[in-house]
C-alpha cells in the first residue's frame, strides 16, 4: 500500500499537535499544583542562544496548518510570530491548529501531490514540490520545535515523559491469535 501525501502530513501533524496540547495541559496542571505561573515558561530556553519556549510552541502551529496551505497555494507564508504571548494563548493556538487540521480531507491534500512550492528565506529562494517541502523542510522544523518545547517543560520540572511526546500512536488492529482446539 502506497503512502499518500495526506497520510504523510495530516495524521502526522495531528498526532504531534495533539501531544503538544496534552503536555501544555500537563504544564498548566503542574503550575496549579505547585502554585507557579505558567507564563514563567514563556521565555525559558534550553541554552541562551536558542529561541524561547513561546517561539517553539508558535512554530509548531506554523509548521502544521500553514504548511498544508503552502502545499495548496504553492508558497510558504506562515503568519508572523506574535512574540511572548500568555501561556493560555499558546494553548488556544495549539487547540486551533488541531481543529483546523481535522478539516483537511484526503482527497483535498492528495490533490496537491507534485505541486511546485517556493520558499523565500532572505535572498535565498528554495524551490520544492509538495512532497519535498513536507519531508525535508516542514516536518523536520515541526518536530524540532515540538521536541524543544517538550524539553523546556521537562527541564523546568513538568512531569512529562516520552509517551506524552509521542501522543496517540497510529497502530494497526491486531487480530486475536487463532486458538487450536485440543484433539485435532
Q: What is the pLDDT of residues 68-83, one digit of tens each?
A: 999 999 988 777 778 7
Residue pLDDT, tens place only, 155-172: 999 999 889 888 888 778
User: What gap in Å lies between CA 5 and CA 149, rounded to an integer?
Assistant: 26
Task: Report the CATH number that the domain containing residue 57 is assigned in CATH.
Answer: 1.20.120.450
User: What gap in Å lies between CA 125 and CA 133, rounded to an integer?
Assistant: 13
How many domains are contained in the chain?
A: 1
User: What gap in Å lies between CA 81 and CA 79, rounded to an integer?
Assistant: 6
- Closest CA relative to residue 64, chosen from 120, 128, 146, 1: 146
Query: Residue 62 belongs to what domain range?
Result: 5-102+115-166
Are 58 and 93 spatial neighbours (Cβ–Cβ below 8 Å)?
Answer: yes
If one compares 118 and 82, the residue with the highest pLDDT of the two is 118
pTM: 0.88
Domain membership flag for residue 148: yes
| Inter-CA distances, 174 with 2, 15, 59, Å | 21, 20, 36
Region for residue 167 given its phi and psi (left: phi exceeds 0; alpha: psi -120 to 50; beta: otherwise): left
Domain membership flag for residue 109: no
Amino acid at each position: 500500500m502506497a503512502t499518500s501525501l495526506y497520510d504523510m502530513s495530516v495524521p502526522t501533524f495531528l498526532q504531534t499537535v495533539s501531544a503538544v496540547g496534552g503536555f501544555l495541559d500537563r504544564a498548566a496542571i503542574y503550575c496549579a499544583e505547585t502554585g507557579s505561573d505558567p507564563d514563567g515558561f514563556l521565555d525559558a530556553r534550553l541554552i541562551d542562544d536558542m529561541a524561547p519556549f513561546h517561539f517553539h510552541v508558535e512554530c509548531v502551529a506554523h509548521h502544521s496548518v500553514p504548511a498544508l496551505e503552502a502545499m495548496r497555494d504553492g508558497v510558504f507564508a506562515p503568519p508572523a510570530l506574535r512574540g511572548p504571548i500568555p501561556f493560555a494563548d499558546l494553548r488556544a493556538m495549539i487547540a486551533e491548529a488541531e481543529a483546523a487540521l481535522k478539516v483537511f480531507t484526503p482527497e483535498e491534500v492528495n490533490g496537491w501531490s507534485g505541486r511546485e512550492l517556493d520558499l523565500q528565506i532572505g535572498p535565498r529562494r528554495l524551490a520544492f514540490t509538495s512532497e519535498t517541502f513536507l519531508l525535508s523542510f516542514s516536518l523536520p522544523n515541526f518536530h524540532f520545535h515540538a521536541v524543544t518545547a517538550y524539553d523546556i517543560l521537562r527541564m523546568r520540572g513538568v512531569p512529562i515523559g516520552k509517551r506524552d511526546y509521542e501522543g496517540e500512536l497510529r497502530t494497526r488492529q491486531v487480530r486475536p491469535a487463532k486458538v487450536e482446539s485440543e484433539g485435532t
